[in-house]
Amino acid sequence: MSLKAFKRALWVYHLNTGSCNGCDIEILAVLTPRYDAERFGIKLVGSPRHADVLLVTGPVVRQMVTRVERIYQQTPDPKLVMVVGNCGAEGDVFHESYNLAGPIDQIIPVDVYVPGCPPRPEAIIHGVAMAWVKLEKLAKQEVV
């Protein structure tokens, strides 16, 4: 993986759309000293306006739909959406539940899926790396 166009650290905004917190705990595990994603320049930020990647968990409950759309629109371009966990990817045990509007790709475009209930931290780091490669391509297109 060679990074030429996207030269800065990758900033990630974590958005929970109704997750059970299982995936969120694994995302936190990615930041602990054992995995330490920040050594790669991957950092969680507190605002989507600072983010390059939206990391979304949960199956999207109805109350979250407008929030998800607005947060997606507030993220500057080039941006990527990464879904962590089965719930966000296809609903998992909540599939076709009456109070869900998801999965996430029915509301906003998704670029990277990390399946699992919850996925292991290694899988999440791999997903972020894949997102980074795609972001690199997008950044190159913008430069050209």
Partner 1 sequence: MTFILESGYAFWNPLIWIIVFIVIMIVVYFFRRRGQKGYKKDTDQTQIFLCGEEVPEAGERHIRVGNIYWGFFETLKEYYEQILRPHTGIINDYILWFVAITAISVIVLLVAGLG
Site for partner 1, rule CB under 8 A: 15, 47-50, 64, 66-68, 70-71, 73-78
> What is the distance between the alpha carbons of residues 144 and 130, in angstroms, rounded to a whole number?
21
Give whichever of 17 and 119 is closer to partner 1, judged by the CB atom: 17
| CB contact at 8 A, 43 and 128 | no
CB of 107 to partner 1, least distance (A): 12
CB of 70 to partner 1, least distance (A): 5
Give whichever of 70 and 140 is closer to partner 1, judged by the CB atom: 70
CB of 103 to partner 1, least distance (A): 18
Give whichever of 50 and 140 is closer to partner 1, judged by the CB atom: 50
Give whichever of 67 and 95 is closer to partner 1, judged by the CB atom: 67
β-sheet with 10-16: strand ranges across:
42-45, 10-16, 53-57, 80-84, 112-114
CB of 32 to partner 1, least distance (A): 25
**Of 59, 70, 73, residue with least CA distance to 22:** 59
> What is the distance between the alpha carbons of residues 84 and 119, in angstroms, rounded to a whole number?
7
